[in-house]
Amino acid sequence: MPTSLFQLSRKKFLRAPQLEAKLAIKILMGFVILYFGGSLLFLGIVVYPILSDQFPERDPISIINSVLVLIFIFELIIRYFLQQLPITEIKSFLLLSIPKKRIIRNVLFRSLLSVYNAIPVLLYLPISISMLKDDYALDQVIFWWVAVTAFSLCLNFISFLANKNNLALAGFVVLLILLYLGESYLDIEILRAVGYFFDALITQPLWVLVPLGIFVLLYQITFNFLKNNLNLEGSLAAKKEVANAGRYDFLDVFGSHALFLKNDLRLIIRNVRPRNIVLMSFLFLFYGLFFFTQDNQPEAMLVFASIFISGGFLLTYGSYVPAWDSEYYAFLMSQNLSYKKYLDSKWRLMTFAIVVSTVLSLPYLYFGIKIYLLILSGAAFNVGLGTWITLYGGLLNKQPLKLNVKAKAFENTQAFSGKLFLMIIPKMVLPVLLYIIPASFFNETAGYLTLAASGVLGIVFKNQILAQMVKLFAKEKHEMLNAFSQK
Amino acid sequence: MPLAKNKHMITATSLTKSYGETTVLNIEQLEIPKGQCFGLVGNNGAGKTTFFSILLDLIKTSTGEIISNDIAVAQSEEWKTFTSAFIDDSFLIGYLTPEEYFYFVGELRGIDKAAVDLFLETYVDFFNDEILNQKKYLRDFSKGNQKKVGLIATFIGNPKVVILDEPFANLDPTTQIRLKQLIKAETEKRELTLLISSHDLNHVTDVCNRIVLLERGAVIMDKETTAKTLQELEDYFSA
């Protein structure tokens, strides 16, 4: 008899290689979660009293209702990038005599236990209590809470379904833009309708059936999706691609580096996961639009934005170097390859991507020369230091990667896991400090110059840094081989 | 030119590998002369792949060391210039076509495209029209055909030491026979030290001039191959 599926996932964690590293990361993540959880709880507690204080003529809950849709959208984006459904282990159970339904139910139920689903408790429960104090009837408050919670849990499934479908995200973004345009120019009140819906719910509790219905429906859709894909898996696996015998000889201009550059390019073009990740890195180009369009943004935010604009490829693809080569790492390590050339060509690839992004970001000149100078000095930082920090992080990130995962539904997308988020921190905080400190002591120009100079220094001392990286690379060889062989 | 210090290509001295309490490999002394075709047999867990992995510095030893052509493999990377291996499919790059893979290996060993093409021509029979010009990535080939690619790639650039883990497994009968012919031809052509592990006693006694039997990491038997060797091995394994 198979023991509980829960026990298996517990064992998977405890018996994983590099348990200590994983544990340390879990603990760090724990603090991050505590921080965000605490902030949410605080927000939940204070928002209602503050609103009734500031807008005595309006019902606070109505104001909250009117912005709920924005909270939901934000929540969905966060979930889309960070939340993962625990589905990796499904495959091993398929041939066991456990009913498929039970496996899927287990996965879906566990996904409901995810920390992201604490939002309704942390944020909405204190609001509900404030409502009670404000003389709302108990049943009204309960129905309101159940409705927002049901919506929040719906997002759990929506983010999963969207994650499995590349078009879904694009579709969602387009839909949002259309709704926003419709709202602001054509006076179509779709987004605001959500607010009215929750207002109505307080007077007519029966409306609670709508979110509950949607929740049940989404559960069923996700359930069926998983069930059908479990069946299809076999036939999908038989599919074979016709090799695209593209010529990569044009890369020969890079001389002895061409060998690895060619392979990296093939890796990106011919494998599902790196392809998606690189496509995603283009989205980073638009990151500046969030910040540069608003007045009175703190300067730290502007530095962030410029680092993101030129560093999309670094943050996405770069973080997984050399894990991209994990499938055949033993082969590489037994070949007569120079670590120096190997790492150097990875550096060149990242530098190339930064230069391309910087050129593509020329339209930001529209926001003024200062913004573009910031982007340029950020790019210099990325080339000189960001690349090495990324490579260093990549060397420490000993997680094997499967390159060409056919049915994405059965693999962790791994694309934006919390762990990687932690590695991003030095890449982001350092440039901000390099800019902010001189800028606040002297002026903006000093900020640009320091940030750019740090990058130039990195380029000047490239050979020294590279030599250190080669040493580290050689030192970590056996541990990496061991970690990469764990599938 | 420095004179070769000894006639041995590979020397393993007080070699052990343990994971915690369990010792998976324990070899007091093992010498493999230059030009020998060395066969390693033993049941699962006997330590064959562990031995090869240490020889390729893919895992660290617990004690002892392996010297390959006067180079301690754990100390220097120099052995890589004359050694090649095919252990398992992690030695293939799945997203390359066989040609691209051969060129890649060739370039790593300083052999240009034209020379690789010339080299591949000699193996047309072995490939049996199933490998070249297939417009397929390696990951989409069958296990047997993947193996053909990996095996042939080890011979690119005339390495002095070639290590093949289970080369006969997964191959179709025709290819198994051709592989034996190929191995014999390669070892006759030049001074090649070839290390093979196999579960196929027939094949391994056929091609190798020395057989070493491992059990639980220790050498149980070490013999020059004779007409009787196959029978002796069969007796041992059926006992």
More confident residue, A191 or B74: B74
Chain A residues touching B135 at Cβ < 8 A: 242-243, 245
Q: Spell out a b/e string for B8-22, using b for 16 or more CB atoms within 10 Å of the CB, else e.
A: bbbbbeebbbeeeee
CA distance A270 to chain B (A): 6
| Whole-number percent of chain A with pLDDT over 70 | 81
Q: What is the DSSP string of B101-160?
A: HHHHHHHHTT--HHHHHHHHHTTHHHHTTSSTT----GGGS-HHHHHHHHHHHHTTT--S
Q: Is the pLDDT of residue A436 over 80?
A: yes
Average pLDDT (A207-214) is: 88
d(CA A353, CA A446): 27
At residue A173 the predicted structure's pLDDT band, cuts being 50, 70 and 90, is confident
With the C-alpha atoms ordered B79, B85, B88, B91, is the resulting torsion angle positive or negative? positive
CB-based contact B183:B203 (threshold 8 Å)? no
Per-residue confidence (pLDDT) for residue A386, from 0 to 100: 92
At residue A90 the predicted structure's pLDDT band, cuts being 50, 70 and 90, is low
CA distance A21 to chain B (A): 20
Per-residue confidence (pLDDT) for residue A221, from 0 to 100: 87
- Which among A263, A266, A478 is the nearest to B59, CB-wise? A478
Per-residue confidence (pLDDT) for residue A411, from 0 to 100: 37
- Which among B81, B90, B100 is the nearest to A328, CB-wise? B90
Listed range (A165-174, A302-311, B167-176, B185-194) with the worst mean pLDDT: A165-174
Domain ranges of chain A: 37-237, 253-484
Q: Is the pLDDT of residue A2 over 60?
A: no
| Collapsed DSSP state (helix, strand, coil) of residue A159 | helix
Chain B residues touching A270 at Cβ < 8 A: 95, 137
> What backbone torsions phi and psi does residue B218 show, to the nearest 5 degrees?
-110, 150
Q: Is the pLDDT of residue A268 over 80?
A: yes
Mutate which of B90, B138, B149 to test chain A, going by most A C-beta atoms within 10 A?
B90
- Which among A328, A337, A481 is the nearest to B93, CB-wise? A328
CA distance B215 to chain A (A): 24
The string of pLDDT tens digits covering residues A16-33 is 655 666 666 667 777 777
Q: What average pLDDT does the structure give for chain A?
A: 80
Q: How far is CA A89 from CA A104, A108, A185, B112, in A?
A: 11, 13, 48, 44
CB contact under 8 A, A403 and B94: yes
At residue A405 the predicted structure's pLDDT band, cuts being 50, 70 and 90, is low
- Which among A267, A270, A336 is the nearest to B80, CB-wise? A336
Q: Is the pLDDT of residue B154 over 90?
A: yes
Reply yes or no: is the peptide bond before residue A17 cis, omega within 30 of 0: no
The answer to whether B62 contacts chain A (CB < 8 Å) is: no
The string of pLDDT tens digits covering residues A91-111 is 666 677 777 788 788 878 878
CB contact under 8 A, A327 and B90: yes
Q: Is the pLDDT of residue A312 over 70?
A: yes
The string of pLDDT tens digits covering residues B76-123 is 889 999 999 999 989 999 999 999 999 999 999 999 899 999 999 999
Torsion of CA B86, B89, B90, B92, to 10 degrees: 80
Q: Is the pLDDT of residue A89 over 80?
A: no
Listed range (A62-66, A88-92, B157-161, B225-229) with the worst mean pLDDT: A88-92
Listed range (A78-82, A469-473, B211-215, B225-229) with the worst mean pLDDT: A78-82
Average pLDDT (A332-336) is: 91
At residue A407 the predicted structure's pLDDT band, cuts being 50, 70 and 90, is very low
At residue B5 the predicted structure's pLDDT band, cuts being 50, 70 and 90, is low
Average pLDDT (B165-179) is: 93
Mutate which of B50, B77, B93 to test chain A, going by most A C-beta atoms within 10 A?
B93
Quote the DSSP letter at residue B84: E
Q: What is the CA radius of gyration of chain B?
A: 18
Per-residue confidence (pLDDT) for residue B26, from 0 to 100: 93
CA distance A217 to chain B (A): 39
Q: Is the pLDDT of residue A325 over 80?
A: yes
CB contact under 8 A, A328 and B56: no
Q: Is the pLDDT of residue A337 over 50?
A: yes
Q: Is the pLDDT of residue A279 over 50?
A: yes
Per-residue confidence (pLDDT) for residue A243, from 0 to 100: 67
Report which of B83, B181, B71 is spatially closest to residue B125, judged by C-alpha positions: B181
What's A20-49 look like in SS3? HHHHHHHHHHHHHHHHHHHHHHHHHHHHHH
Q: Helix crossing, A138-163 with A100-112: angle to 10°?
A: 120
- Residue B31's beta-bridge partner residues? B11
How many Cβ atoms from other residues are within 10 Å of residue B80's Cβ? 21
Chain A residues touching B68 at Cβ < 8 A: none
Q: What is the DSSP string of A260-326?
A: HHHHHHHHHHH-HHHHHHHHHHHHGGGHHHHHHTSTT--HHHHHHHHHHHHHHHHHHTGGGTTGGGG
CB contact under 8 A, B91 and A328: yes
Q: What average pLDDT does the structure give for chain B?
A: 91
Among all residues of chain A, which has the CA nearest to that of B52?
Answer: A334
CB contact under 8 A, A478 and B60: yes
CB contact under 8 A, B136 and A242: yes
The string of pLDDT tens digits covering residues B131-141 is 988 888 999 89
Average pLDDT (A140-156) is: 88
The string of pLDDT tens digits covering residues A187-206 is 667 777 778 888 888 888 88
d(CA A104, CA A373): 52
Quote the DSSP letter at residue B13: E
Torsion of CA A35, A36, A42, A45, to 10 degrees: -140
Q: Is the pLDDT of residue A406 over 50?
A: no
The string of pLDDT tens digits covering residues A34-76 is 888 888 899 888 888 888 888 888 888 888 888 888 888 888 8
Chain A residues touching B100 at Cβ < 8 A: 266
CB contact under 8 A, A328 and B94: yes
Number of H helices, E strands in chain B: 8, 10
The answer to whether B71 contacts chain A (CB < 8 Å) is: no
Chain A residues touching B80 at Cβ < 8 A: 334-337
- Which among A263, A330, A335 is the nearest to B80, CB-wise? A335
With the C-alpha atoms ordered A361, A364, A369, A375, is the resulting torsion angle positive or negative? negative
Average pLDDT (A107-134) is: 84
CB-based contact B207:B180 (threshold 8 Å)? yes
CA distance B97 to chain A (A): 7
- Longest alpha-carbon distance in chain B: 52
Per-residue confidence (pLDDT) for residue B178, from 0 to 100: 93
At residue A1 the predicted structure's pLDDT band, cuts being 50, 70 and 90, is very low
CB contact under 8 A, B83 and A403: no
